[in-house]
Amino acid sequence: MSVIDERGKRVITEREIKQVASGDILRIDEGALLTPLAQDAARERDVQIERVRRRSAARRKKIALAADHGGFEMKEELKRALADLGYEFQDFGAHSTDPVDYPDYAHTAARAVARGTCDLAIIIDGAGIGSCMVANKVPGVRAAMCYDSATARNSREHNGANALTLGGKMITSELMREIVEAWLSTELTEDRHRRRVAKIDAIEREYTKD
């Protein structure tokens, strides 16, 4: 018997059920919607549904997620990681591995942070570089491309990063989780760092004046 993890998905359809072998367990979020066809398929295939309650985060933040085709698979894994950590998230796509243009998706997630509809953004493309460039074009966004937990912590503690970009083809799933956990658990707290970040924001305003 195997356990298939689909936490992070709000709706479980017949498609997800048919990807699970007969007799296996499908683990989903406690509040996930199981469509009628999915319920029928689960009974027919003897798939056990295990609902899991999300852990509550100490400071609950809403995360904007986005990826191009190169980051799609890691984004789906990230959704499960965020569910484990108790974070709410909004998935801005892409929704498959079909080729798309990374600027479209990075822009949408970064804009959600700039507008305040999401607190932070995590954006994934093949290398993480292009999405970082795009996100930093959006006023109010400070995006950092991180490749280990040390750079993740530094980007938050020293630079007040509110967007994280990752290279889906450059890091493992395990390293992605380490980076994300470090990034989300670190805050900009010291006055000397706040002063320097304020200077970054002042430079941005100098170039975005009407």
Q: How confident is the model at residue 29, as a pLDDT?
A: 81
Region 62-191: CATH code: 3.40.1400.10
Torsion of CA 152, 157, 158, 160, to 10 degrees: 90
Whole-model pTM?
0.76
Q: In what order do the strands lie in the sheet with 62-67?
A: 88-91, 62-67, 120-125, 163-167, 143-145
What's the pLDDT at 57?
44
> Which residues of the chain have a pLDDT value below 70?
1, 54-59, 210
The CATH 3.40.1400.10 domain(s) of the chain lie at 62-191
d(CA 101, CA 69): 8
pLDDT (0 to 100) of residue 27: 85
Is 158 labeled as catalytic in the residue annotation?
yes
- Among all chains, which residue has been given the structure tokens 């995006």? 143
Which pLDDT value is given to residue 58?
Answer: 46
Instruction: Name the amino acid, one letter, at 103.
Output: P
Catalytic residue among 69, 95, 107, 158: 158
Nearest residue to 176 (alpha-carbon basis) of 166, 184, 186, 185: 166
